[in-house]
């Protein structure tokens, strides 16, 4: 009787070991893909094509402006900024948004309902997350700023003139106070 339990235990251990091996292979493959392929690729890409990018930009700013990444929500320097002035492109210093068009949408990024001038932005179709969004870029340097969303009802909710929300990464902007 003792031998039967021993045999059952050996079989269960063998199956268990196979599962553990499969789990370890899956875990290490995922770990390799995330940490060995993606992170070094992003770090290496920081040095590529630097000629049109401001040398004073931080690594995060380069990843957002050039590689079209997004900063974490509720962490941007200008999210809660209430000062009067103009928001400029962090790369080329082109004026983009006035503080008078900024509003609190609660989305975690600075929101504006219109740019200083329609010609300062370019709009591109973005399907990167499996949905169709409109990407906004600086018309001068083509730096990624964020996305624009329409038809959310902000004009009725906050009595602003346009029902448009320009959701902009803080790190793609520099703020200059009004003189």
The answer to whether 46 and 59 have CB atoms below 8 angstroms apart is yes
Would you please indicate which residues are annotated as catalytic (active-site) residues?
Answer: 167
Q: Is 36 within the bounds of a domain?
A: no
Q: Assign 15 a pLDDT band (cuts: 50, 70, 90).
A: low
pLDDT 10s digits, 23-57: 555 554 444 444 444 433 344 344 545 568 999 99
Calpha distance 40→48 (Å, rounded): 13
The answer to whether 171 and 87 have CB atoms below 8 angstroms apart is no
Q: Is 142 within the bounds of a domain?
A: yes
Q: Is 130 within the bounds of a domain?
A: yes
Q: What is the average per-residue pLDDT within 91-119?
A: 96
Q: Is 35 within the bounds of a domain?
A: no
List Cα–Cα distances, 88 to 24, 104, 140, in angstroms. Answer: 49, 19, 11
Calpha distance 16→19 (Å, rounded): 5
Q: Is 20 within the bounds of a domain?
A: no
The answer to whether 144 and 51 have CB atoms below 8 angstroms apart is no
Domain housing 156: 59-71+78-177
Q: What is the pTM of this model?
A: 0.71
Q: Is 124 within the bounds of a domain?
A: yes
**Rg of the chain in Å (alpha carbons):** 24
Q: Is 2 within the bounds of a domain?
A: no
Q: Look at the chain and report how many structural domains it folds into.
A: 1
Cα 175 to chain center, whole Å?
19
Given the structure tokens 């004026």, which residue do they identify? 95
Calpha distance 167→72 (Å, rounded): 13
Q: Is 23 within the bounds of a domain?
A: no
* CATH number for the domain that contains residue 95: 2.170.150.20
Angle, vertex CA 33, rays to CA 28 and CA 36, nearest 5? 95
Quick one: pLDDT at residue 130? 86
């Amino acid at each position: 009787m003792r031998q039967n339990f021993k045999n059952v235990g050996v079989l269960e251990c063998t199956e268990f070991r196979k599962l553990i091996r499969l789990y370890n292979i899956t875990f290490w493959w995922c770990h390799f893909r995330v940490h060995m392929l993606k992170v070094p690729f992003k770090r290496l890409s920081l040095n590529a094509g630097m000629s049109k990018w401001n040398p004073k930009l931080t690594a995060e700013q380069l990843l957002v402006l050039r590689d079209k990444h997004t900063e974490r929500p509720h962490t941007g320097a200008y999210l809660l900024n209430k000062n009067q002035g103009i928001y400029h492109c962090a790369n080329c210093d082109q004026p983009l948004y006035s503080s008078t068009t900024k509003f609190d949408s609660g989305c975690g990024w600075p929101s504006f309902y219109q740019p200083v001038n329609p010609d300062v932005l370019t709009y591109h179709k973005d399907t990167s997350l499996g949905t169709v969004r409109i990407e906004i870029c600086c018309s001068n340097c083509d730096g990624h700023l964020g996305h624009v969303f329409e038809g959310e009802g902000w004009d009725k909710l906050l009595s602003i003139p346009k029902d448009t929300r320009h959701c902009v990464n803080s790190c793609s902007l520099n703020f200059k106070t009004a003189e």
